[in-house]
Chains A and B, each alone.
Chain A
Amino acid sequence: MSKASALASLSWSVLVVLLCQCGGAQRAEVPASVAPSPAAGGSGAAPSVSPDSPAGAPGLESAPSTPALAPPPPPPSPGERPADHRSLRAAAREELDRAQRDLEAASSSCDSACRALASMEMATVHLCSLADQPDDQRRCDDARQRLTVARGRVRAACGTCP
Protein backbone atom coordinates (compact mmCIF):
# COMPACT_ATOMS: atom_id res chain seq x y z
CA MET A 1 0.00 0.00 0.00
CA SER A 2 1.33 3.44 -0.87
CA LYS A 3 1.75 6.11 1.76
CA ALA A 4 -0.96 8.23 0.15
CA SER A 5 -3.51 5.48 0.13
CA ALA A 6 -2.62 4.42 3.67
CA LEU A 7 -3.15 7.98 4.87
CA ALA A 8 -6.44 8.25 3.02
CA SER A 9 -7.55 4.96 4.51
CA LEU A 10 -6.58 6.08 8.00
CA SER A 11 -8.47 9.36 7.59
CA TRP A 12 -11.53 7.49 6.47
CA SER A 13 -11.30 5.07 9.38
CA VAL A 14 -11.09 7.94 11.87
CA LEU A 15 -14.22 9.42 10.32
CA VAL A 16 -16.02 6.09 10.55
CA VAL A 17 -15.10 5.66 14.23
CA LEU A 18 -16.24 9.19 15.03
CA LEU A 19 -19.53 8.66 13.25
CA CYS A 20 -20.08 5.37 15.03
CA GLN A 21 -19.46 6.99 18.39
CA CYS A 22 -21.86 9.79 17.64
CA GLY A 23 -24.49 7.58 16.14
CA GLY A 24 -25.96 6.05 19.28
CA ALA A 25 -28.79 8.50 19.78
CA GLN A 26 -29.67 9.38 16.26
CA ARG A 27 -28.88 8.29 12.79
CA ALA A 28 -25.60 9.68 11.57
CA GLU A 29 -25.59 11.34 8.21
CA VAL A 30 -22.39 11.81 6.31
CA PRO A 31 -22.30 15.38 5.03
CA ALA A 32 -21.48 15.66 1.38
CA SER A 33 -18.66 18.06 2.26
CA VAL A 34 -16.76 15.39 4.20
CA ALA A 35 -17.67 12.38 2.12
CA PRO A 36 -14.47 10.89 0.76
CA SER A 37 -13.66 10.99 -2.89
CA PRO A 38 -10.55 9.86 -4.71
CA ALA A 39 -9.62 13.48 -5.27
CA ALA A 40 -10.07 14.42 -1.63
CA GLY A 41 -8.11 11.46 -0.43
CA GLY A 42 -5.34 12.19 -2.86
CA SER A 43 -5.07 15.89 -2.19
CA GLY A 44 -4.76 15.38 1.52
CA ALA A 45 -2.09 12.77 1.32
CA ALA A 46 -0.19 13.18 -1.89
CA PRO A 47 3.14 14.86 -1.27
CA SER A 48 4.09 17.77 -3.44
CA VAL A 49 6.65 17.45 -6.19
CA SER A 50 9.92 19.00 -5.22
CA PRO A 51 11.47 21.30 -7.78
CA ASP A 52 14.96 20.28 -6.71
CA SER A 53 14.56 16.66 -7.65
CA PRO A 54 17.45 15.24 -9.63
CA ALA A 55 17.25 16.16 -13.28
CA GLY A 56 16.28 13.67 -15.86
CA ALA A 57 13.67 11.83 -13.89
CA PRO A 58 10.80 10.74 -16.05
CA GLY A 59 7.25 11.35 -14.98
CA LEU A 60 8.11 13.86 -12.29
CA GLU A 61 4.86 15.71 -12.74
CA SER A 62 2.63 12.76 -12.07
CA ALA A 63 1.24 12.57 -8.58
CA PRO A 64 0.93 9.20 -6.87
CA SER A 65 -2.26 7.47 -7.77
CA THR A 66 -4.88 7.11 -5.07
CA PRO A 67 -6.64 3.81 -5.04
CA ALA A 68 -10.36 3.59 -4.48
CA LEU A 69 -11.39 3.63 -0.84
CA ALA A 70 -13.33 0.82 0.72
CA PRO A 71 -16.97 1.75 1.34
CA PRO A 72 -17.80 2.61 4.94
CA PRO A 73 -20.03 0.43 7.06
CA PRO A 74 -23.63 1.67 6.96
CA PRO A 75 -24.66 4.03 9.78
CA PRO A 76 -26.89 2.55 12.47
CA SER A 77 -30.60 2.71 11.86
CA PRO A 78 -32.99 3.93 14.58
CA GLY A 79 -34.25 0.41 15.19
CA GLU A 80 -30.88 -1.11 15.92
CA ARG A 81 -30.05 -2.29 19.44
CA PRO A 82 -27.06 -1.01 21.50
CA ALA A 83 -25.31 -4.34 20.96
CA ASP A 84 -25.36 -3.66 17.23
CA HIS A 85 -23.76 -0.28 17.84
CA ARG A 86 -21.10 -1.88 19.98
CA SER A 87 -20.19 -4.40 17.33
CA LEU A 88 -20.17 -1.69 14.70
CA ARG A 89 -17.89 0.43 16.86
CA ALA A 90 -15.59 -2.53 17.45
CA ALA A 91 -15.40 -3.19 13.73
CA ALA A 92 -14.68 0.46 13.04
CA ARG A 93 -11.96 0.53 15.68
CA GLU A 94 -10.44 -2.58 14.19
CA GLU A 95 -10.44 -0.89 10.82
CA LEU A 96 -8.82 2.19 12.34
CA ASP A 97 -6.07 0.07 13.92
CA ARG A 98 -5.45 -1.69 10.64
CA ALA A 99 -5.29 1.59 8.71
CA GLN A 100 -2.87 3.01 11.27
CA ARG A 101 -0.62 -0.03 10.92
CA ASP A 102 -0.75 0.33 7.13
CA LEU A 103 0.26 3.97 7.37
CA GLU A 104 3.18 3.20 9.68
CA ALA A 105 4.34 0.42 7.37
CA ALA A 106 4.04 2.62 4.27
CA SER A 107 6.01 5.43 5.94
CA SER A 108 8.72 3.01 6.98
CA SER A 109 8.99 1.46 3.53
CA CYS A 110 9.20 4.88 1.90
CA ASP A 111 11.94 5.98 4.30
CA SER A 112 13.91 2.88 3.34
CA ALA A 113 13.26 3.32 -0.35
CA CYS A 114 14.22 7.01 -0.32
CA ARG A 115 17.47 6.34 1.53
CA ALA A 116 18.37 3.58 -0.89
CA LEU A 117 17.46 5.76 -3.87
CA ALA A 118 19.77 8.55 -2.66
CA SER A 119 22.62 6.08 -2.29
CA MET A 120 21.85 4.61 -5.72
CA GLU A 121 21.96 8.09 -7.27
CA MET A 122 25.30 8.89 -5.67
CA ALA A 123 26.81 5.58 -6.79
CA THR A 124 25.54 6.06 -10.34
CA VAL A 125 26.91 9.60 -10.61
CA HIS A 126 30.36 8.46 -9.53
CA LEU A 127 30.25 5.32 -11.64
CA CYS A 128 29.45 7.36 -14.74
CA SER A 129 32.10 9.96 -13.92
CA LEU A 130 34.65 7.14 -14.14
CA ALA A 131 33.38 5.71 -17.42
CA ASP A 132 36.01 6.43 -20.04
CA GLN A 133 36.07 3.00 -21.67
CA PRO A 134 33.28 1.37 -23.75
CA ASP A 135 32.70 -1.33 -21.14
CA ASP A 136 32.51 1.23 -18.33
CA GLN A 137 30.12 3.30 -20.42
CA ARG A 138 27.87 0.28 -20.84
CA ARG A 139 27.87 -0.23 -17.07
CA CYS A 140 27.09 3.44 -16.58
CA ASP A 141 24.16 3.23 -19.00
CA ASP A 142 22.86 0.15 -17.23
CA ALA A 143 23.09 1.87 -13.84
CA ARG A 144 21.30 4.93 -15.19
CA GLN A 145 18.55 2.76 -16.58
CA ARG A 146 18.09 1.01 -13.23
CA LEU A 147 18.11 4.35 -11.46
CA THR A 148 15.42 5.76 -13.74
CA VAL A 149 13.17 2.77 -13.10
CA ALA A 150 13.80 2.85 -9.35
CA ARG A 151 13.16 6.60 -9.17
CA GLY A 152 9.86 6.17 -10.97
CA ARG A 153 8.79 3.39 -8.64
CA VAL A 154 9.68 5.35 -5.51
CA ARG A 155 7.92 8.43 -6.80
CA ALA A 156 4.78 6.46 -7.64
CA ALA A 157 4.66 4.82 -4.21
CA CYS A 158 5.96 7.57 -1.97
CA GLY A 159 5.84 10.91 -3.78
CA THR A 160 8.77 13.16 -3.05
CA CYS A 161 11.68 11.98 -0.97
CA PRO A 162 12.90 14.37 1.75
Chain B
Amino acid sequence: MKRGGLVLAIVTSSAVALGALGCRERSTSGCPGSESAAPPVDEALMAFLSAARALHHEADIREQSGDTASAIASLERLVAMPAPAAVEVDEVLADARARLAELRLERGDVDGADREVQAGLQRVKGPTYFRGHLLEVEGLLEEVRAGALADAGKSVEAARAKARAVSLLEEAVEVQERVIDRALADGGTHE
Protein backbone atom coordinates (compact mmCIF):
# COMPACT_ATOMS: atom_id res chain seq x y z
CA MET B 1 0.00 0.00 0.00
CA LYS B 2 1.30 3.44 -0.85
CA ARG B 3 1.84 5.67 2.14
CA GLY B 4 -0.74 8.11 0.82
CA GLY B 5 -3.13 5.19 0.91
CA LEU B 6 -2.23 4.35 4.47
CA VAL B 7 -2.78 7.93 5.56
CA LEU B 8 -6.02 7.90 3.58
CA ALA B 9 -7.06 4.86 5.60
CA ILE B 10 -6.38 6.76 8.82
CA VAL B 11 -8.17 9.84 7.48
CA THR B 12 -11.13 7.76 6.40
CA SER B 13 -11.44 5.94 9.68
CA SER B 14 -11.20 9.26 11.50
CA ALA B 15 -13.86 10.75 9.28
CA VAL B 16 -16.09 7.75 9.85
CA ALA B 17 -15.54 8.02 13.58
CA LEU B 18 -16.28 11.73 13.56
CA GLY B 19 -19.28 11.15 11.34
CA ALA B 20 -20.54 8.46 13.66
CA LEU B 21 -20.09 10.83 16.55
CA GLY B 22 -22.14 13.40 14.65
CA CYS B 23 -24.79 10.77 14.01
CA ARG B 24 -24.92 9.96 17.68
CA GLU B 25 -25.36 13.56 18.64
CA ARG B 26 -27.79 14.95 16.13
CA SER B 27 -30.70 14.01 13.96
CA THR B 28 -30.00 14.06 10.23
CA SER B 29 -31.45 12.26 7.28
CA GLY B 30 -28.28 10.21 6.94
CA CYS B 31 -28.04 9.10 10.56
CA PRO B 32 -30.07 6.63 12.50
CA GLY B 33 -32.24 8.64 14.75
CA SER B 34 -31.02 10.78 17.59
CA GLU B 35 -32.14 14.19 18.58
CA SER B 36 -29.54 16.46 20.15
CA ALA B 37 -27.20 19.02 18.58
CA ALA B 38 -23.93 17.99 16.94
CA PRO B 39 -20.54 18.71 18.46
CA PRO B 40 -18.09 20.62 16.27
CA VAL B 41 -16.06 18.32 14.04
CA ASP B 42 -12.39 18.48 14.98
CA GLU B 43 -11.25 20.71 12.15
CA ALA B 44 -7.63 20.90 13.33
CA LEU B 45 -7.36 17.12 13.27
CA MET B 46 -8.93 16.80 9.84
CA ALA B 47 -6.75 19.61 8.48
CA PHE B 48 -3.64 17.91 9.80
CA LEU B 49 -4.61 14.55 8.34
CA SER B 50 -5.45 16.13 5.00
CA ALA B 51 -2.11 17.96 4.85
CA ALA B 52 -0.28 14.77 5.85
CA ARG B 53 -1.95 12.88 3.07
CA ALA B 54 -0.99 15.56 0.53
CA LEU B 55 2.64 15.51 1.69
CA HIS B 56 2.78 11.71 1.45
CA HIS B 57 1.49 11.97 -2.11
CA GLU B 58 4.11 14.59 -2.85
CA ALA B 59 6.78 12.29 -1.43
CA ASP B 60 5.38 9.41 -3.54
CA ILE B 61 5.75 11.44 -6.72
CA ARG B 62 9.25 12.60 -5.86
CA GLU B 63 10.34 9.13 -4.85
CA GLN B 64 8.96 7.65 -8.07
CA SER B 65 11.01 10.12 -10.08
CA GLY B 66 14.12 9.08 -8.15
CA ASP B 67 14.41 12.29 -6.17
CA THR B 68 14.85 10.81 -2.71
CA ALA B 69 16.18 14.04 -1.23
CA SER B 70 13.00 15.91 -2.19
CA ALA B 71 10.85 13.05 -0.91
CA ILE B 72 12.64 13.33 2.42
CA ALA B 73 12.04 17.11 2.36
CA SER B 74 8.28 16.53 1.91
CA LEU B 75 8.18 14.18 4.87
CA GLU B 76 10.28 16.52 6.99
CA ARG B 77 7.63 19.17 6.38
CA LEU B 78 5.03 16.67 7.53
CA VAL B 79 6.74 15.83 10.82
CA ALA B 80 7.40 19.54 11.47
CA MET B 81 3.75 20.56 11.11
CA PRO B 82 1.91 21.77 14.19
CA ALA B 83 -0.01 18.72 15.31
CA PRO B 84 -3.09 18.46 17.48
CA ALA B 85 -3.04 15.85 20.21
CA ALA B 86 -4.78 12.75 18.89
CA VAL B 87 -4.06 9.07 18.45
CA GLU B 88 -4.49 9.44 14.69
CA VAL B 89 -1.85 12.16 14.61
CA ASP B 90 0.58 9.98 16.56
CA GLU B 91 0.02 7.17 14.08
CA VAL B 92 0.52 9.41 11.05
CA LEU B 93 3.70 10.86 12.54
CA ALA B 94 5.03 7.44 13.50
CA ASP B 95 4.37 6.22 9.98
CA ALA B 96 6.06 9.27 8.47
CA ARG B 97 9.09 8.67 10.70
CA ALA B 98 9.26 5.06 9.54
CA ARG B 99 9.18 6.18 5.93
CA LEU B 100 11.82 8.82 6.58
CA ALA B 101 14.00 6.17 8.20
CA GLU B 102 13.66 3.91 5.17
CA LEU B 103 14.56 6.74 2.79
CA ARG B 104 17.56 7.76 4.90
CA LEU B 105 18.67 4.15 5.05
CA GLU B 106 18.50 4.01 1.25
CA ARG B 107 20.95 6.88 1.19
CA GLY B 108 23.24 5.18 3.67
CA ASP B 109 22.39 7.52 6.54
CA VAL B 110 22.09 4.85 9.24
CA ASP B 111 22.34 7.24 12.19
CA GLY B 112 19.74 9.56 10.67
CA ALA B 113 17.44 6.60 10.11
CA ASP B 114 17.95 5.55 13.71
CA ARG B 115 16.95 9.01 14.96
CA GLU B 116 13.73 8.84 12.92
CA VAL B 117 12.88 5.42 14.30
CA GLN B 118 13.46 6.50 17.90
CA ALA B 119 11.29 9.61 17.36
CA GLY B 120 8.57 7.45 15.87
CA LEU B 121 8.66 4.94 18.70
CA GLN B 122 8.01 7.79 21.12
CA ARG B 123 4.66 8.31 19.41
CA VAL B 124 3.33 4.75 19.53
CA LYS B 125 3.77 2.70 22.67
CA GLY B 126 1.22 -0.07 22.37
CA PRO B 127 1.27 -3.14 20.11
CA THR B 128 0.07 -1.44 16.93
CA TYR B 129 0.98 -1.87 13.29
CA PHE B 130 2.88 1.40 13.46
CA ARG B 131 5.08 0.28 16.34
CA GLY B 132 5.67 -3.08 14.71
CA HIS B 133 6.66 -1.39 11.47
CA LEU B 134 9.09 0.90 13.27
CA LEU B 135 10.67 -2.11 14.99
CA GLU B 136 10.96 -3.81 11.62
CA VAL B 137 12.72 -0.76 10.14
CA GLU B 138 14.99 -0.54 13.17
CA GLY B 139 15.88 -4.19 12.67
CA LEU B 140 16.75 -3.48 9.03
CA LEU B 141 18.96 -0.57 9.97
CA GLU B 142 20.78 -2.64 12.57
CA GLU B 143 21.31 -5.26 9.89
CA VAL B 144 22.84 -2.60 7.63
CA ARG B 145 24.91 -1.32 10.51
CA ALA B 146 26.18 -4.84 11.26
CA GLY B 147 27.28 -5.24 7.66
CA ALA B 148 29.11 -1.92 7.67
CA LEU B 149 30.85 -2.74 10.94
CA ALA B 150 31.88 -6.15 9.65
CA ASP B 151 33.25 -4.57 6.48
CA ALA B 152 35.26 -2.22 8.67
CA GLY B 153 36.77 -5.17 10.51
CA LYS B 154 34.90 -4.43 13.75
CA SER B 155 33.68 -7.93 14.33
CA VAL B 156 32.60 -7.55 17.96
CA GLU B 157 30.50 -4.45 17.23
CA ALA B 158 29.14 -6.13 14.12
CA ALA B 159 28.04 -9.16 16.13
CA ARG B 160 26.28 -6.90 18.63
CA ALA B 161 24.47 -5.02 15.88
CA LYS B 162 23.43 -8.31 14.31
CA ALA B 163 22.10 -9.59 17.64
CA ARG B 164 20.11 -6.36 18.05
CA ALA B 165 18.75 -6.77 14.52
CA VAL B 166 17.58 -10.31 15.22
CA SER B 167 15.89 -9.28 18.47
CA LEU B 168 14.17 -6.28 16.88
CA LEU B 169 12.94 -8.27 13.90
CA GLU B 170 11.66 -10.97 16.23
CA GLU B 171 9.83 -8.35 18.27
CA ALA B 172 8.35 -6.88 15.09
CA VAL B 173 7.01 -10.32 14.15
CA GLU B 174 5.42 -10.70 17.60
CA VAL B 175 3.83 -7.25 17.53
CA GLN B 176 2.37 -7.72 14.06
CA GLU B 177 1.09 -11.14 15.01
CA ARG B 178 -0.82 -9.54 17.88
CA VAL B 179 -2.11 -6.83 15.55
CA ILE B 180 -3.45 -9.50 13.20
CA ASP B 181 -5.00 -11.46 16.06
CA ARG B 182 -6.78 -8.38 17.33
CA ALA B 183 -7.85 -7.10 13.92
CA LEU B 184 -9.45 -10.40 13.00
CA ALA B 185 -10.94 -10.92 16.44
CA ASP B 186 -12.64 -7.57 16.88
CA GLY B 187 -13.73 -7.08 13.30
CA GLY B 188 -12.16 -3.76 12.55
CA THR B 189 -11.16 -1.80 15.58
CA HIS B 190 -8.86 0.92 14.37
CA GLU B 191 -5.17 0.00 14.55
Contact = CB atoms under 8 A, between A and B. Distances in A.
A127 B179 contact: no
Interface in B164-183: 165-166, 169-170, 172-174, 176-177, 179-180, 183
Interface stretch (B63-71, B77-85, B128-136): B128-136
Interface stretch (A45-53, A76-84, A97-105): A97-105
A106 B75 CA distance: 31
Interface residues of B, number: 35
Contact of B173 (A106, A114, A118, A146): A146
Interface in B121-148: 129, 132-133, 135-136, 139-140, 143, 146
Chain A CB within 10 Å, residue with most, of B1, B132, B136, B174: B136
B188 A108 contact: yes
A118 B5 CA distance: 15
Given A119-B136, A122-B136, A123-B169, A104 B143 contact: no
Contact of A109 (B146, B162, B176, B184): B184
Contacts of A1: 187
B124 to A, nearest CB: 13
Contact of B139 (A94, A108, A127, A139): A127
Contacts of B190: 108, 112
| Number of chain A interface residues as a range | 35 or more
A146 to B, nearest CB: 5
Contacts of A104: 16, 188
Secondary structure of the A side of the interface?
helix
B140 to A, nearest CB: 6
Q: Which of B16, B133, B176 has the most CB of A within 10 A?
A: B176
Question: Interface of chain B, helix or strand or loop or mixed?
Answer: helix
A127 B164 CA distance: 11
15 contacts: A105-B187, A106-B187, A108-B190, A109-B184, A116-B180, A116-B183, A120-B176, A123-B173, A127-B139, A127-B166, A130-B146, A130-B162, A130-B165, A147-B173, A153-B184
Given A126-B139, A130-B165, 7 more contacts: A94-B32, A105-B188, A108-B188, A108-B189, A115-B1, A115-B191, A123-B132
Interface of A: 1, 94, 97, 102, 104-120, 122-124, 126-127, 129-131, 136, 139, 143, 146-147, 150, 153-154, 157, 162
